[in-house]
Amino acid sequence: MIPASRVSETWNKIREQKETFITARTKAFRHTLEPFLYLLPAAVVFAGFVFYPFFKTLYISLFLTNPEGEIGRVVELKNYAAVFTSPEYLNSILVTLKFVILTVPAELVIGFVLAVFANVQLKGIAVFRTLYALPIAISSASAAVIWMLLFNPGSGWINYLLGLRRPSKPWTTRRRASTVHWITTIRRWG
């Protein structure tokens, strides 16, 4: 017969090994899986609002639909062929390219020059830095209203400063092509 003290020692060793194993396993769980469990609710919401609509749109795009959005017959990739060959789509690509060509290089150069100038130690540079950071403080909607007031054909400050009374110059609606140029000018400022 095994003495009770020996059984008790063996039992305590088994319990310690089990606790050590559980503790190590808990630490491993906390270091590997626990962060993902915290991210799980956000990932589910993100998937519900981003991935589901994206894949549903891809699925529906393979069908003809009626004005109510009900799915009709399968047309496979004919919808995409119709879009990519339409004149409206090609014009939108051309306008987008024109916008990028007019905006990106100018923004890079202007931003670099202003950043270098803002880093120079001159008397009164704090005023320049304040004006430089002003577009960050103004919302896009407020900036749009300010630009609309500046370019207003009847009472805009641009016409007043240039001495153009009546007939006023319709800055933003004069030609269709000029709209892209005004939008890129406004975009560079903001």
Per-residue pLDDT at 182: 67
95 and 177 co-located in one domain: yes
User: Domain range holding 111?
Assistant: 87-189
163: left (phi over 0), alpha (psi -120 to 50) or beta: left
| Residue-wise pLDDT tens digits, 88-102 | 999 999 989 988 998
78 and 94 co-located in one domain: no
- How many domains are there within the chain? 2
Domain boundary among 83, 104, 132: 83
The single-letter code of the amino acid at 50 is V
Per-residue pLDDT at 156: 74
102 and 155 co-located in one domain: yes
How far apart are the C-alpha atoms of 80 and 64, rounded to whole Å? 12
Phi, psi for 138 (deg, rounded to 5): -95, 130
Alpha helices in 33-124 (DSSP H): 34-46, 52-60, 78-85, 87-118
Domain boundary among 83, 109, 142: 83
76 and 148 co-located in one domain: no
How far apart are the C-alpha atoms of 78 and 76, rounded to whole Å? 6
User: Looking up tokens 């589901």, which residue turns up?
Assistant: 52
Global pTM reads: 0.49
